[in-house]
Amino acid sequence: MIRIGIVGAGAIAAVHIDSFLQFASLCEVVAVCDTFVDKAHSLITDKKVNAQAYADIQTMLDEGNLDAISICLPPNMHATVAIQALSSGKHVIVEKPMASSLQECDQMIAAAKKHNKLLCVVSQNRWKTQLNNTKRIMDEGLLGKVVHASFDSLWWRGSVYYDLWWRGTWEQEAGGVFTSHSVHYLDLMQMLFGMPKKVQAFISNINHTNSECEDIGFAVFTYEDKVINFTSSLVSHGEKQAIVINGEKASISIPFSVSSYNSLPNGFPEQNKELEKQIQKRYEELPALELEGHPAQLLNFLRAIEQKEALALDGNVGRQTIELIHAIYKSAVLQRPVDLPLESTDPFYTKEGLVQKMPRFHTKGKSVDNFSTSKITLGRDFNA
Ligand SMILES: NC(=O)c1ccc[n+]([C@@H]2O[C@H](COP(=O)([O-])OP(=O)(O)OC[C@H]3O[C@@H](n4cnc5c(N)ncnc54)[C@H](O)[C@@H]3O)[C@@H](O)[C@H]2O)c1
């Protein structure tokens, strides 16, 4: 039985506990830690788990007899606590964003290697039926060579969202909408297409005056053989998130739709109904995932601890998404295209470099310790 400790008893911790509870034959949540220890007690009571509440992380690591921890803390603590736990011999699953800098990512990866423990980064949207089946269609070559894709990573948050003490500063949250929200879609981009060679980006903050960081941004990624445009927004009512993949033979979109054109002798389009039907049929015959989202990823983490499955999303994969984000920030600040990968000598490799270089769009003037509700949404589902 894998003994789990949860660090941080805020909004996402509840999702982790609900997920672990689905696998009661594999694991048990035996510890919950929060500096506001009453929050740890409330979560234990609400979720009816037989766990000990702690106010201090090191005490939990020393006394909890744990095998693994879930890090559900604000982003600037991810690296320190992950390294602390790995050094105490615990496997670690850490919420997104993996860390505040590439340097921190590298330190986490090194600690996992040194102590021979698993380091897993949450990116639960990889476990979505629509995404997996779209990838399958693309990999089977039904679209032809992919030449272009577009990502609409569209979200909406009210201004008070940034009143929470750790949000809306480069120091604590490590970024704005690209870091905290589009991290999901940037991870899907690297899952579908790998890493680009170059990025050119723009960021701004147009409607969240209690945040130093961006609430909107645009990036264009260049690959050897394709271009991707990426929109990241926190001002989009309806959160109509979408991915469109354009191949030479056909286009496929999430939420699912398919289109195909043949060329007329003058280059104008003629609908290729036959290929559209073929892709639609193939898509419909592909099976649905048994589990989606956090439960699916946490189950993979548990099975990897048991050495029954490979870990699907380790520190190296998590690091690549941070690299995409920090290359976007570098390009936006320098107002020019930026080559990937970012070298360890780059000022944007460290948190100090990033914090020093990034613009302050607004001054964070208001700060609350906690909101009256922990209710959150995890973004519109592709099906919605
Ligand atoms: N995967 C997703 O879809 C998703 C969704 C929401 C949040 N998140 C991520 O989860 C993380 C936490 O977000 P949240 O919304 O749950 O935040 P939150 O503020 O609701 O919870 C964080 C908790 O950590 C506690 N904490 C802070 N410092 C601590 C310390 N030193 N020791 C112990 N506890 C401490 C706080 O008191 C708070 O209760 C963030 O990295 C966020 O980006 C991921």
Reduce the secondary structure of the chain to three states and give it as a string. Answer: CEEEEEECCCHHHHHHHHHHHCCCCCEEEEEEECCCHHHHHHHHHHHCCCCEEECCHHHHHHHCCCCEEEECCCHHHHHHHHHHHHHCCCEEEECCCCCCCHHHHHHHHHHHHHHCCCEEECCHHHCCHHHHHHHHHHHCCCCCCEEEEEEEEECECCHHHHHECCCCCCCCCCCCHHHHCCHHHHHHHHHHHCCCCEEEEEEECCCCCCCCCCCEEEEEEECCCCEEEEEEECECCCCCCEEEEEECCCEEEECCEEECEEECCCCCEEECHHHHHHHHHHHHHCCCCCCCHHHHHHHHHHHHHCCCCCCCCEHHHHHHHHHHHHHHHHHHHHCCCEECCCCCCCHHHCHHHHHHHCCCCCCCCCCECCCCCCCCCCCCCCCC
Which of 6, 7, 12, 70 gets mutated to test ligand 1 (max ligand atoms within 8 A of its CB)?
A: 12
The reply to whether 366 falls in a domain is no
Q: What pLDDT, on the 0 to 100 scale, is given for residue 370?
A: 86
Range 183-198 average pLDDT: 98
The reply to whether 69 falls in a domain is yes
pLDDT tens string 94-112: 999 999 999 999 999 999 9
Q: Is the pLDDT of residue 378 over 80?
A: no
Residues 238 and 351 in one domain: yes
- Residue whose CA lies nearest to ligand 1 atom number 30: 35
Q: What pLDDT, on the 0 to 100 scale, is given for residue 371?
A: 87
Range 136-160 average pLDDT: 97
Q: Is the pLDDT of residue 195 over 90?
A: yes
Q: What pLDDT, on the 0 to 100 scale, is given for residue 382?
A: 57
- Tell me the CA–centroid distance for residue 377 and ligand 1, in Å: 14
Residues 158 and 76 in one domain: no
Place of tokens 């992919």: 146
Task: Determine how β-strand 257-259 pairs with β-strand 91-94.
Answer: unpaired
How far apart are alpha carbons 290 and 281 in whole angstroms? 21
Contact 312, 167 (CB under 8 A): no
- Tell me the CA–centroid distance for residue 283 and ligand 1, in Å: 37
Residues 153 and 257 in one domain: yes
C-alpha to C-alpha distances, 195 to 117, 191, 228, 320, 341, nearest whole angstrom: 26, 9, 11, 8, 9
The reply to whether 383 falls in a domain is no
Contact 13, 374 (CB under 8 A): no
Range 134-150 average pLDDT: 98
Q: Is the dihedral of CA 294, 295, 296, 300 positive or negative?
A: positive
pLDDT tens string 280-319: 999 999 999 999 999 999 999 999 999 999 999 999 999 9
The reply to whether 367 falls in a domain is no
- Tell me the CA–centroid distance for residue 231 and ligand 1, in Å: 25
Residues 257 and 308 in one domain: no
- Kindly list the protein residues whose Cβ atom lies closer than 6 A to any atom of ligand 1: 7-13, 33-36, 39, 57, 72-75, 77, 95-96, 122, 124, 164, 180, 376, 378
Among the atoms of ligand 1, which is closest to the Cα of residue 55? 33
The reply to whether 380 falls in a domain is no
Range 199-203 average pLDDT: 98
Q: Burial, 195: exposed, middle or buried (Cβ in 10 Å; 0-12, 13-18, 19+)?
A: middle
Here the CATH number for the domain that contains residue 61 is 3.40.50.720
Range 221-227 average pLDDT: 98
The reply to whether 60 falls in a domain is yes
Residues 115 and 255 in one domain: no
- Residue whose CA lies nearest to ligand 1 atom number 25: 8
Per the omega criterion (within 30 degrees of 0), is the bond before 269 cis? no
Q: Is the pLDDT of residue 383 over 60?
A: no
- Tell me the CA–centroid distance for residue 73 and ligand 1, in Å: 4
Which of 59, 95, 234, 381 gets mutated to test ligand 1 (max ligand atoms within 8 A of its CB)?
A: 95
Place of tokens 């050119």: 200
Q: What pLDDT, on the 0 to 100 scale, is given for residue 315?
A: 98
Q: What is the CA radius of gyration of the chain?
A: 21
The band of 261, judged by pLDDT with boundaries at 50, 70 and 90, is very high
- Tell me the CA–centroid distance for residue 7 and ligand 1, in Å: 8
The reply to whether 105 falls in a domain is yes
How far apart are alpha carbons 311 and 119 in whole angstroms? 9
Residues 247 and 259 in one domain: yes
- Residue whose CA lies nearest to ligand 1 atom number 20: 10
The string over 219-242, giving b where at least 16 C-beta atoms fall within 10 Å of a residue's C-beta and e elsewhere, is bbbbbeebebebbbbbebeebebb
Residue of 113 and 383 predicted with greater confidence? 113
Range 69-80 average pLDDT: 98
Residues 160 and 96 in one domain: no
Residues 154 and 247 in one domain: yes
The reply to whether 375 falls in a domain is no
How far apart are alpha carbons 226 and 200 in whole angstroms? 14
Residues 161 and 279 in one domain: yes
Q: What pLDDT, on the 0 to 100 scale, is given for residue 384?
A: 40
Q: Is the pLDDT of residue 155 over 80?
A: yes
Q: How many CB atoms lie within 10 A of CB 56?
A: 13
The band of 379, judged by pLDDT with boundaries at 50, 70 and 90, is low
Residues 61 and 160 in one domain: no
Residues 201 and 228 in one domain: yes
How far apart are alpha carbons 78 and 172 in whole angstroms? 11
Q: What pLDDT, on the 0 to 100 scale, is given for residue 373?
A: 79
Domain of residue 271, residue span: 126-289+320-357
- Tell me the CA–centroid distance for residue 216 and ligand 1, in Å: 22
Among the atoms of ligand 1, which is closest to the Cα of residue 81? 31
Residues 144 and 184 in one domain: yes
The band of 374, judged by pLDDT with boundaries at 50, 70 and 90, is confident
Number of domains in the chain: 2
Here the CATH number for the domain that contains residue 279 is 3.30.360.10
- Tell me the CA–centroid distance for residue 13 and ligand 1, in Å: 7
Q: Which of 279, 313, 347 is the last residue of a domain?
A: 313
Which of 72, 125, 180, 301 gets mutated to test ligand 1 (max ligand atoms within 8 A of its CB)?
A: 72
How far apart are alpha carbons 368 and 276 in whole angstroms? 52
